[in-house]
Structure formats: structure tokens, C-alpha cells
Amino acid sequence: MSTAFDVIIIGAGPAGSTAAIRLASAGWSVAIVEKREFPRRKVCGECIAASNLPLLDALGIGEAFDALAGPDLQRVGLFVGARRIIAPLPPMADARHRWGRALGREHLDTLLLARARALGVDVWQPWSVKHHDADGDLHRCTLTRSGEDADVQLHAPVLIDAHGSWEPAPRGGMHAEATRKLPHHNNDLLAFKATWRHAHLEPGLLPVLAFPGGYGGMVLGDHGLVTLAFCIRRDAVQRARAAHPGASAAQAAFAQVRAHCPGIGEVVDVATLIGSWLAVGPLQPGIRTAAPGDGHFAIGNAAGEAHPILGEGMSMAIQSAWLLADQLIAHRAQATAPLGMRSDWSSLGLDYTRAWRANFAPRVRFATVCAHLAMRPQAAAPLLPLLQRWPRLLTQGARIAGKIRQAAVSTSAGPGTLVPNPASPPATAPTSAGIHQEH
């Protein structure tokens, strides 16, 4: 069993698997480490903006995505109390991919990782990285797995963090500071998510919910299922639990949100809840370090995270992975040179950091503004008459949010190119029986 690779990727979500597919397609030996079994539901990320769909085609899962995903998302709605402001979403200038769609993470992540595996990526699942340090010019990751008697060590000149921002980083080396648990604060954002069957949400509409202390959204995704996800401050959850004794945090918070956004009841009152509520947190929106050190990079939420009010998490995950892969593929000779002969990594890290910030920092900042306005409806009240009179201001807001901006482009030439491996068949959609088994 080989333990030496060109690159080790920690996390097999959309960011990690995208990087794995791109690098494996370019001839790199890739190990990807994922601590959870797939498929698995997650709180975050079901909306896939249209700007990502050509990339999914290039990654080899476009047909499977098309077969599974929900209807085209053509309109956005702002629900504030009894107010509903509806506007069109901006279309992509792409005849085949004009609109975004929604697909549950249990399906998207499984498709991407299966594609990576088909391209020869060495998948370590379910394994966890419990320690990371340097071994000469190499990164050394010590893996552990429940039920295994011994740890395993992987070595590579390139290490990519693609794990969730709320997950503790591996101990050791430059990760040591990140392992300290942060104290709880009243303004911590906790996220909750649930899914319903037979809900009454108009196809193609993407409602955004604004209420005191939080924000959220609903979407009609795969198999006619409607998902509601929302973020809410810790102190608002505490008040909700006091008002609903005996209820779980999710149930109490949902009752609070529903009281402020009555339109939710019209969508889910006659629907069937599928499975249980999911919860995660606290969220940590903000810009982090895209290139922590020599041969060490971060993508997805590990590099930076926007408030999910804009639904740009998947775009930042997939497209940041694509940007980094462009840089690494262009500098492969540097990354895979014999020990002691590698040139300085600083220029590559700087180029990637600049590209990341140019494409994603404005989205992070704009999402922060939108999130704080949504959480303070009274402060945002003067804006509502303007939005009601000119609802297309929401359309413009979607443009500013990056809904149709392509940070990474798959073309017939240049660094963005991904050449499919003809020996590897494209990913196929899971059967409907397999999809609903987890529910």
C-alpha cells in the first residue's frame, strides 16, 4: 500500500473532490482523506449557481447532476414578516446553463468522490487526520480510524485543507493554534436544516428569509423535496427555548423563525418532514489564509467562508479548488521535483492568494452586509419600500453576490482545461431507491 503521493487533500466535500479530480486528471498521484461515510446529509450547501454547471460537466458529473437536481432557479424572493418581494435572478450567458439548481449534499458529494475514485484517487474513508507535521520537504499526515490497531502515515510535498471551518484542524505543526476551542458568545450563529416532502414551494423560486437574529432560505431540490435552512444567533435560540419549554433547540428555533416569517407555514404545513433536523455551528464567516505555508494550501471554507444568506458556499468551494488546481498544474515541475531541489513556494502561494481574494473577498464582504441587515429587520426597514418599488434591486444584488461570475472557467485551452480520462466512464446517477434509503 502506497503512502507517498504528490498531494494529500483533507476533506472530500465539493472543494476537496474537485481538486482531487482536476489534479488526478493532470497525472498527479492524489490521496484524499474523509472522516465521514458517504452519502451523508449536511446542513450547508444545496444551491449550485449556474456558474458552476460548466465545471461540473468538465469534472465528469454534469449528466448525473442534470438527472438528479431540482428545477431551474429563476427567481429570488425576500420574505420579511408578511412582505414578499419577488424578482428575477440574473441568467448566465450560456445557452445550456442559464440558471442554477439545487441538489442535496448527500448526492453531490457522492457523485464527485465517485468520479475522483474512478480517476485513480486514493480515497481514505472513513479516516481522520489526527496529526500533521513536516518530514523534511514533505508534509506528513498521521491518519487514524476507529477500530484500527495502528495509525497510517501519508507523505506528500503538497497538502490541501478542504475541511469545514467549524471542524478542529489536525494537531501539530502550524495547525496547533486552531485546535483551541473558542468560548461561546451570544452572537454565535448556529445553523439548522430540515427537508420536507409534498411541500408547497413554487418551482423556480428561491425565497430568502429575514427575521430578528437570523436569516434563512428555502429551495425546491432533487426528488421534489423542499429544504429549509436558517442561521440564528445563539441568544435568539436561548430565548426561543425559554418560550418553548421541552422543545429541542431546532424545534424552538424553527417556531421562532416561523412566527416572524408566516410564509413558511404555507409551504410546510401540509408537508411531511423527512428524517430529523440537522444542526451545526457556530459558523465562522470570514477570510482566512489561502496559502498557510510552503506547499500547504486551503480551499473552500478552510480558506474563507461567506455568510450563507447568498448561497455562494458551493461556488466558493468548487471554484477555489479549480483556481488552486490551475496554479498547481502550471507548477507541477516545482511540486514534484526531487527532495532538496524544489524552488521557493512563495510565488505560487502569493498568486493563488491574490486570485482567491480577487474572486471571493468581495462576496464575503457583501454577504456580511446582507446578513447583518437581514438579522436586523427594523434597521433595514427603510430599504423595504425601495425594494417593493424596484424589486430588480434584488436582481442586481444577486449579480453583486457573484451568482453568474465565473472565477474559474473550463475552456478548450489554457489552465482551466480539464481533459476527461477516456478510460474512466462519467459518473452515473444513483438509483432512486438508494437515494431515499437514508431518509
Instruction: Tell me the residue type at 245.
Output: P
Residue 2: exposed, middle, or buried by beta-carbon count in 10 A (0-12, 13-18, 19+)? exposed
Instruction: State how far the Cα of 372 lies from the Cα of 210, in Å rounded to an integer.
Output: 10
Instruction: State how far the Cα of 183 lies from the Cα of 151, in Å rounded to an integer.
Output: 31
For residue 416, what pLDDT is reported? 43
Task: Encode pLDDT of 95-117 as tens digits.
Answer: 899 999 999 999 999 999 999 99
For residue 222, what pLDDT is reported? 95
Q: Which three cell numbers stand for residue 57?
A: 460537466
* 3-class state of residue 277 by DSSP: strand
Question: What domains can you pick out in the chain, each with its CATH number?
Answer: 7-181+285-413+432-437 (3.50.50.60)
34 to 42, 115, 124: CA distances (angstroms): 14, 15, 6
Q: Which three cell numbers stand for residue 166?
A: 467549524
* Ordered alpha helix ranges (H), 154-275: 234-243, 249-260, 263-268
All residue ranges of the chain with pLDDT < 50 are 171, 173-180, 339-341, 412-439
* Ordered alpha helix ranges (H), 288-331: 313-330
For residue 181, what pLDDT is reported? 61
Could you please report the per-residue DSSP string of 323-367? HHHHHHHHTHHHHTSPTT-PPPSHHHHHHHHHHHHHHHHHHHHHH
For residue 318, what pLDDT is reported? 96
For residue 170, what pLDDT is reported? 56
Task: Encode pLDDT of 389-411 as tens digits.
Answer: 999 999 999 998 888 887 777 65
β-bridge pairing 7-10 and 101-102: unpaired
Q: What is the pTM of this model?
A: 0.89
As a whole number of Å, the CA-based R_g of the chain is 22
For residue 166, what pLDDT is reported? 57
For residue 415, what pLDDT is reported? 41
